[in-house]
Amino acid sequence: MAHSHSHHDHTQGSGNLKLAFFLNLGFTILELIGGFYVNSVAILSDAIHDLGDSLSLGLAWGLDIKSKQKANDNFSFGYGRFSLLGALINGLVLIIGSVFIVKEAIERLINPEPSDATGMIIFAIFGVAVNGYAAWKVSHGSSQNEKVISWHLMEDVLGWVAVLIAGILLYFFDIPWIDPVLSLAISTFILWNVVRNLKETIYIFLQAVPSNISLEKIKSDILAQPKVDSLHHVHIWSLEGANHVFTAHIKLKEIQDLQELTETKGKVQTILKEYPLGHFTIEWELQNEECALDEHEHDHSDHSETAHSH
């Protein structure tokens, strides 16, 4: 049985989430103080939304740290999927937050309220700068958790851009409906992207084949080897969206000696190393060998693939 592992340095991801958490929390406190000071309900409601973001970022950071712990007897693959749990929770929180913002925007459209234009402009400039920097840092991450968090921060950046535009327009014109209209447009855009990311997160949780790998291509590459007879019990799934796991039973043919067996193993492992696999396990079976799993298991979804002779 062959095993392979690859290790990646994810410390940068935790650092980015830590930075985003402290930036967001600090700015939330500033918003709460400033919102009371300029008597702006819009800024105070955004502060509540940002407080939710801060809690989500804190959770994501904590789960990301947990995900770096090494494998043990309880979690033999390590804690990578804890990061995925963070992505799932944050996605749900963001959907709830976006729905709340849409509801508030509709109410503001029905009953327009005057806003402090100068206060909005000042806070919007700070908001774009702080959240923009945090979003830029986290957007470099590869995990599903960081992808979802970057949408959290992108929502804030776009929200503050809307506040800035609305503040400038309100400073010169009496059009109170401009703020909720922009808010609705941005929330709808963010909601669409979050639902898409959440769908991908759920797919990974359900151990679907990762979207960046073709199972058929791997099968055909392996079956192209002259000493490979067939494949069965082939599975690909992902730990957390970045590290994928491959397992298979490979039946060999016309193996005359140990050297031929070793060479064939080496060729198949070389093929697998071309794919973004963090771990792969192969059960090698010789021509006259019966598969031990077939005696105990009837897996209707698992089809044996056989090489065709030319």
CA 44, chain centre distance (Å): 30
Inter-residue contact 243 to 83 (CB < 8 Å):
no
Helix/strand/coil for 76? coil
The per-residue pLDDT for 304 is: 58
d(CA 1, CA 243): 20
Q: How much is the pLDDT for 298?
A: 45
**What per-residue confidence (pLDDT) applies to 1?**
52
Q: Yes or no: say if 231 and 272 are a contact pair by the CB < 8 Å rule.
A: no
pLDDT value at residue 45 = 66
Question: 158: exposed, middle or buried (C-beta count within 10 Å: 0-12, 13-18, 19+)?
Answer: buried
Residue 201 confidence (pLDDT): 85
What is the per-residue DSSP string for 12-71? HHHHHHHHHHHHHHHHHHHHHHHHHHTT-HHHHHHHHHHHHHHHHHHHHHHHHHHHTSPP
Tokens of 213: 């790998």
Q: 86 CB contacts (<8 Å, ≥6 apart)?
A: 59, 60, 62, 63, 64, 145, 148
pLDDT at 305: 61
Q: Say what the pLDDT of residue 228 is.
A: 84
> Are 68 and 17 within 8 A, CB to CB?
no
Whole-number Cα distances in Å, 170 to 121, 145, 212: 10, 37, 46
Report pLDDT for 97: 76
Give me the tens of pLDDT residue by residue for the chain, a chain 310 residues long: 554 444 444 445 566 777 778 887 888 888 778 767 666 656 666 676 677 777 777 877 777 777 677 777 777 777 777 777 777 887 887 788 778 778 877 887 888 777 678 887 888 898 888 878 877 877 766 566 666 677 767 777 877 787 788 888 888 888 878 777 777 777 787 788 788 878 888 888 888 888 778 888 888 888 888 778 888 888 888 877 777 888 889 888 877 788 888 888 888 888 888 887 878 888 888 877 777 776 554 444 445 566 554 4
* pTM, to two decimals: 0.64
Looking at residue 6, what is its pLDDT? Answer: 42
Q: Are 2 and 280 in contact (CB under 8 A)?
A: yes
Asked if 83 and 144 touch (Cβ cutoff 8 Å), the reply is yes
Q: How far apart are CA 245 and CA 259, in angstroms?
A: 27
